[in-house]
């Protein structure tokens, strides 16, 4: 028996359980479910449910790692995942990130950045930067987007991210794109939902770009960049009609607006 639960209050048991590592949950949940008190039994059932959720998350994550693990078995040691943020906004840069995760790395909750809250992205961003073998970002500004178009700008941002990576990747998994490089690569549709390294890159790119747009909001507050990150929300479009574009707007995106 892990502890003499009958001698402890429900509140004390809650405190103990909340501080215990998950490796003890299975044993403890069985013991708590046998307790005579309904409140303690509920704690046991709650732990059992949390353990099931944890196993589901581990299974989901293993699925995310399948492509990278297959490439490692094929002889590739440094598989870089690439994704971008900011193809659709009316203002600001497009940002790409490249991330190489080590074999066996586990980042619970890792997913397409668009499926996460800002708070979840920030927590995962720190974990990714701590665990990654290497990570980098590449940026193409609004002027160059207007000059070469957003598709080419996105490819260029991705290439920039690869070039500044401290560890040279020997294979690239890219979210729905291909870039001009002699490094072997694979374009993966919805890659940020299917590949751990691409999902990690989507979070790094998104958080990096969001901070840029929040900074731009201090210079151009009328457009609401802090909230909309440059996307064409109703407030943003109305501000464009009232004040015209700022210096960081993509003129090629505004033909039907102002």
Q: Across the 258 residues of the chain, what is the mean pLDDT of every consecutive 10-residue run?
A: 79 85 83 87 88 92 97 98 98 99 96 96 98 99 98 99 98 98 98 97 98 98 98 98 98 93
pLDDT of residue 1: 61
Are 122 and 180 in the same domain?
A: yes
Residue 257 located in a structural domain: no
CA dist 18 and 29 (Å) reads: 12
Residue 231 located in a structural domain: no
Are 59 and 29 in the same domain?
A: yes
Strands 79-85 and 171-175, how do they pair?
parallel
| Assigned token pair, 31 | 């013991």
For residue 87, the Cα-to-chain-centroid distance in whole angstroms is: 16
pLDDT of residue 157: 99
Residue that is written with structure tokens 């929300």 in the block: 233
Are 34 and 70 in the same domain?
A: no
Please give the order of strands across the beta sheet that includes 79-85. Answer: 134-140, 94-100, 79-85, 171-175, 185-188
Residue 82 located in a structural domain: yes
Are 12 and 51 in the same domain?
A: yes
Which domain range does residue 31 map to? 5-63
Residue 192 located in a structural domain: yes
Residue 170 located in a structural domain: yes
Are 87 and 176 in the same domain?
A: yes
Q: What is the pLDDT of residues 86-139, one digit of tens each?
A: 999 999 999 999 999 999 999 999 999 999 999 999 999 999 999 999 999 999
Total count of domains within the chain: 2
Q: What single-letter DSSP state applies at residue 225?
A: H
pTM above 0.85, yes or no: yes
């Amino acid at each position: 028996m892990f502890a003499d639960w009958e001698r402890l209050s429900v509140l004390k048991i809650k405190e103990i359980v909340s501080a215990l590592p998950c490796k003890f949950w299975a044993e403890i949940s069985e013991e708590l479910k046998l307790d005579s008190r309904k409140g303690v039994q509920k704690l046991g059932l709650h732990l059992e449910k949390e353990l099931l959720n944890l196993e589901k998350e581990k299974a989901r994550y293993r699925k995310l790692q399948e492509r990278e693990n297959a490439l490692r078995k094929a002889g590739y040691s440094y598989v870089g995942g690439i994704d971008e943020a900011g193809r659709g906004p009316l203002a600001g840069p497009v940002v790409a990130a490249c991330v190489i995760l080590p074999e066996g790395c586990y980042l619970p909750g890792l997913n397409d950045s668009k499926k996460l809250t800002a708070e979840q992205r920030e927590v995962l961003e720190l974990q990714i930067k701590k665990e990654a073998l290497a990570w980098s970002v590449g940026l193409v500004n609004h002027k160059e987007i207007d000059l070469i178009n957003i598709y080419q700008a996105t490819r260029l941002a991705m290439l920039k991210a690869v070039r500044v990576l401290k560890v040279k990747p020997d294979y690239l998994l890219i979210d729905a794109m291909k870039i001009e490089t002699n490094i072997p690569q694979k374009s993966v549709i919805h890659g940020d939902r299917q590949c751990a390294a691409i999902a990690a890159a989507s979070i790094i790119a998104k958080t990096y770009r969001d901070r840029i747009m929040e900074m731009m909001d201090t210079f151009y507050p009328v457009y609401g960049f802090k909230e909309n990150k440059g996307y064409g929300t109703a407030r943003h479009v109305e501000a464009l009609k009232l004040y015209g574009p700022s210096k960081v707007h993509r003129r090629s995106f505004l033909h039907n607006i102002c």
